[in-house]
């Protein structure tokens, strides 16, 4: 995204005022009228020197939407926007995403959130969203794994509603075990499969001789010891 020519420093926007069209985009991507509105909304929150919405902007957006910025719906929004970098929305991402949502104003966006939730929870999307959540945490270049702390939070956020007991036990285990300091993508995706396929808390149909990652073998062993 080319940086804006204006040297004006960004001002975190107040509740509902929209800044004047000082912030009209230099980019020639905003063509249609609908896009104009979306664009304007973008500019409300964007960091002018960066040309994209930064964490502060997102925080403000959240406040306007009446949603906590740690709420899972923001993650879902990021997913919908196909946002690449955690904490930032680019103009393209914003435009494509809001268009896909069919919204072009704050109030419409607010109304669209529950539908977004339902969309994510559709089985065909859920796994994609889940995997996305992990990728979103890979902030450094070439980073392949995420530290345990963050994983625990992410698990809570993403799976907490649907699989509360599993998440609680898993988080407890992850915090006390020493074998792994980070979790990789393979292990992450298998957490979801575990929750979906294995009966809980009896773990009756878990077979350690199958291709489950070792961390889950250890988790199950730990659970079974606790239960006996």
Helical spans, DSSP H, in the chain: 33-45, 55-65, 72-81, 91-101, 106-121, 123-136, 148-159, 164-176, 185-197, 214-227
CA distances from 40 to 95, 138, 150, 181, 224 (A): 10, 30, 34, 44, 56
Determine if 209 is a binding residue for other proteins (CB under 8 A).
yes
User: Does residue 188 bind other proteins (CB under 8 A)?
Assistant: no
| Strand 182-184, strand 145-147: pairing | antiparallel
Report if residue 205 touches other proteins, rule: CB under 8 A: no
- Asked if residues 104 and 37 have their Cβ atoms less than 8 Å apart, the reply is yes
Does 196 bind other proteins (CB under 8 A)? Our answer is no
Cβ-based nearer residue to other proteins, 69 or 222 = 222
Q: Minimum distance from CB of 147 to other proteins (Å)?
A: 15
Cβ–Cβ contacts within 10 Å for residue 95, how many? 21
Instruction: Give the contacts of 48 (CB within 8 A, at least 6 positions apart).
Output: 4, 6, 8, 9, 10, 23
Establish if 135 lies at the interface with other proteins (CB under 8 A). Answer: no
Please select the residue that binds other proteins; options are 178, 205, 210, 228, rule is CB under 8 A.
210
221 binds other proteins (CB under 8 A): no
By CB under 8 A, residue 151 contacts other proteins: no
Peptide bond into 201 cis (omega under 30): yes
Residue 214 makes contact with other proteins by CB under 8 A: yes
User: Is 184 a residue that touches other proteins (CB under 8 A)?
Assistant: yes
The residue range among 9-17, 51-59, 86-94, 208-216 that interacts with other proteins, by the rule CB under 8 A, is 208-216
Least Å distance between CB 214 and other proteins?
5
Q: Please report, as ranges, the residues that interact with other proteins according to CB under 8 A.
A: 144-145, 184, 186-187, 190, 193, 209-211, 213-214, 217
């Amino acid at each position: 995204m080319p940086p804006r020519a204006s040297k004006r420093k960004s001002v975190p926007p107040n509740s509902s005022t929209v800044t004047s069209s000082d912030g009209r985009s230099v980019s020639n991507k905003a063509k249609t009228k609908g896009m104009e509105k979306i664009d304007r909304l973008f500019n409300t929150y964007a960091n002018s020197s960066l040309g994209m919405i930064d964490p502060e902007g997102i925080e403000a957006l959240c406040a306007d939407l009446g949603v906590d910025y740690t709420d899972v719906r923001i993650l879902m929004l990021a997913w919908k926007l196909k946002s690449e970098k955690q904490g930032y929305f680019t103009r393209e991402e914003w435009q494509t995403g809001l268009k896909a949502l069919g919204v072009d104003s704050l109030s419409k966006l607010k109304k669209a959130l529950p539908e977004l939730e339902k969309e994510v929870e559709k089985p065909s999307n859920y796994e994609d969203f889940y995997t996305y959540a992990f990728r979103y945490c890979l902030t450094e270049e070439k980073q392949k794994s995420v530290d345990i702390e963050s994983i625990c939070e992410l698990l809570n956020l993403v799976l907490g509603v649907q699989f509360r007991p599993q998440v609680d036990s898993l988080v407890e285990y992850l915090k006390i075990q020493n074998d792994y300091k980070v979790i990789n993508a393979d292990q992450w995706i298998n957490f979801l499969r575990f929750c979906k396929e294995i009966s809980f808390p009896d773990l009756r149909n878990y077979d350690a001789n199958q291709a489950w990652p070792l961390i889950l073998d250890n988790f199950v062993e730990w659970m079974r010891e606790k239960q006996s």
